Amino acid sequence: MLGLIISLIIVGLIAGALARLIIPGKQHMSIIATIVLGIIGSFVGGFLGFLIFQHDPMDGFFQPAGIIGSIIGAIIVLFIYTRFAGRRTARN
């Protein structure tokens, strides 16, 4: 169980950092927020992989993805985040 948590944090950090490098612009995020972005991206990637490939239905709808799925999911999450965060800061 501890190994799963540590690997989820490491994959989350890698996926979140790569997503921040790929999405243009400056994102004001701490390292913890980058890890959380990658972890959420991992579950988004797993969800999309399940929807597209219908693979492993016994694991359920929300499942962690591999590193490629995590990066793709983190890019999607960061893109959505920057669109909504940009609107909120533009009003102030």
Q: What is the pLDDT of residues 14-70, one digit of tens each?
A: 999 999 999 888 888 899 999 999 999 988 888 888 788 776 655 555 566 678 888
> What pLDDT band is residue 90 in, cutting at 50, 70 and 90?
very low
CB-CB neighbours of 47 under 10 Å = 17
pLDDT at 5 > cutoff 60 = yes
CA angle 42, 27, 74 (to 5 degrees): 10
* Residue-level pLDDT at 79: 92
Residue 45 has what pLDDT? Answer: 86
pTM: 0.79
